[in-house]
Amino acid sequence: MVGSQPDHDARIQDVLSWKRSKHTWRLGSGGVDNKLDRKFIPKSTLEKAFKEPGKVEGLLEALFGNGNGSDPLPDADYIRNRYLRPFVILLCIGQGHMIYHFVEHESLQDRHLPFRAEPEGFPSSTTCDLWASFNEKQWCFCATALEYNMSFHLGKDEILPIIHKERLGEGGSAVTHKIIVHEDYDSLDPPGSCGSVSNNDHHVFVVKTYRTADAKTYYETERNAFKNLKKAGRPPPNIIGFYGSFVRGENFNIILEYADLGSLEDFMRRVQPPSSIEDTILFWDNFFNVTHGLVTIHNTKEGNPKEPQILLG
């Protein structure tokens, strides 16, 4: 019953057309410079296309017929819930019929993706190097989720779900960018919070990238200082939020809260001094909150983050 993939079938053609559509893809970040140069397919896009009623059933019928022979069709719900990404990857490389073998191995389930080495039970094919083809294609279905307190070393094939990147500034040792993380992969906010601490723009953060000869030293100093500032696993009040870090190649990156009102110096230039007693009291009350943050930084054991600034959000 198991044969080659019938690409001429309209249901298979529908999948291949979906794969080619520009609406299926988002541009993410790959490579050591975190450039927006790697396309990926978001989880929500995949699920919307393949979890509609009858979709998987129709594809299985296209691949295997009606299942009236001695071998029954693979169970559509089982594939939909546990093998959806592997199934779609196989379809995209012309090997959809191999799902018949995949469902016999727990090691090939969706939850184990991406496969960083050829997993136990992975099948072979006489028509292609199946593992090489699958491995090359899987990464665009497996963008790396960004998690609060992450400390990742990323491989060359991994795609970050950063869908917007805007340069903010550059210092002697680092460059900063405002980024937007695709909502499917954004778990950066501390548990119990609703979006970024300082603003209402969910999925908006800052990446600070160290890239000089001393990049690793500066990165580790600042990362460790931010970690020591946390209270009960969360950033303390009046301190810019630290969400995690990652290393790719020789680039060292920390993910920070986006302070959308700029520095204190920017604020003082832009805003008129308080003119009423109430405004004056409010100004000094908020200013003393800033000093509390500075005291917290001063009292950390690991040393202060390099080039500290007062930022407003």
Structure tokens at 274: 């308080």
User: According to the model, what pLDDT value does residue 263 have?
Assistant: 58
Average pLDDT over residues 298-303: 52
Q: Do residues 201 and 259 make contact, with C-beta atoms less than 8 angstroms apart?
A: no
Strands 186-187 and 146-147: parallel
What local confidence, expressed as pLDDT, does residue 202 receive? 73
Cα distance between the two ends of the chain: 62
| Residue 266 and residue 224 in contact, taking contact as beta carbons nearer than 8 Å | no
- Reduced to 3 states (helix: H, G, I; strand: E, B; else coil), residue 166 is strand
With beta carbons less than 8 A apart as the criterion, state whether 110 and 82 touch: yes
pLDDT at res. 267: 61
Residues 216-245 have a mean pLDDT of 77
- Fill in the DSSP letter of residue 234: B
Q: Kindly list the distances between the CA atom of residue 51 and the CA atoms of 186, 235, 239, in Å, as whole numbers in the listed order.
A: 22, 39, 43
Residue 137 has pLDDT above 50, yes or no: yes
226, 305 Cβ separation under 8 angstroms:
yes
Confidence of residue 199 (pLDDT cuts 50, 70, 90): very low
Q: How confident is the model at residue 312 (pLDDT cuts 50, 70, 90)?
A: very low
Q: How confident is the model at residue 297 (pLDDT cuts 50, 70, 90)?
A: low
CA 138, CA 142: separation in Å to the nearest integer?
Answer: 6
CA distance 202 to 235: 17
In the chain, what are the domains? Answer: 10-27+40-141 (no CATH), 146-298 (3.30.200.20)
Q: Which residues, at least 6 apart from 264, have a Cβ–Cβ distance to it below 8 Å?
A: 290, 309, 310, 311, 312
Q: Confirm if 147 and 188 have CB atoms less than 8 A apart.
A: yes
In this structure, of 65-69, 125-129, 191-195, the range with the lowest mean pLDDT score is 191-195
For residue 120, how many other CB atoms are within 10 A of its CB? 9
Q: Is residue 135 pLDDT above 70, yes or no?
A: yes
Query: What are 82-120's pLDDT values in tens digits?
Result: 999 999 999 999 999 999 999 999 999 999 999 999 999
Percentage of residues in the chain having pLDDT higher than 70: 77
Question: H or E segment at 26?
Answer: strand 26-30
Q: Is the pLDDT of residue 203 over 50?
A: yes
For residues 187-200, give the mean pLDDT: 63
Lowest mean pLDDT among 69-83, 181-195, 199-213, 264-278: 264-278
Q: State the pTM of this model.
A: 0.81
113 — phi, psi (to 5°)?
-70, 150
The predicted structure's pLDDT at residue 260: 66
d(CA 64, CA 171): 60
User: What pLDDT is stored for residue 77 in this prediction?
Assistant: 95
Rounded distance, CA 38 to CA 97, Å? 28
* Per-residue pLDDT reduced to its tens digit, 54-81: 999 999 999 998 765 567 788 999 999 9
DSSP-derived secondary structure for 27-49: EEEETTTTEEEEEE--HHHHHHH
Q: Which residue has the tokens 């009040």?
A: 237
Instruction: Decide if 182 contacts 163 (C-beta within 8 A).
Output: yes
| Mean pLDDT along residues 122-129 | 92
Tell me what the mean pLDDT of segment 33-51 comes to. Answer: 91
For the stretch 147-175, pLDDT in tens is 999 999 998 899 999 999 999 988 778 89
Question: Which structure tokens are listed for 130?
Answer: 């199946």
Q: DSSP character for 160? A: B
Please write the tens of the pLDDT for every residue from 9-22. 999 999 999 999 99
Average model confidence (pLDDT) across the chain? 83
pLDDT at site 201: 60
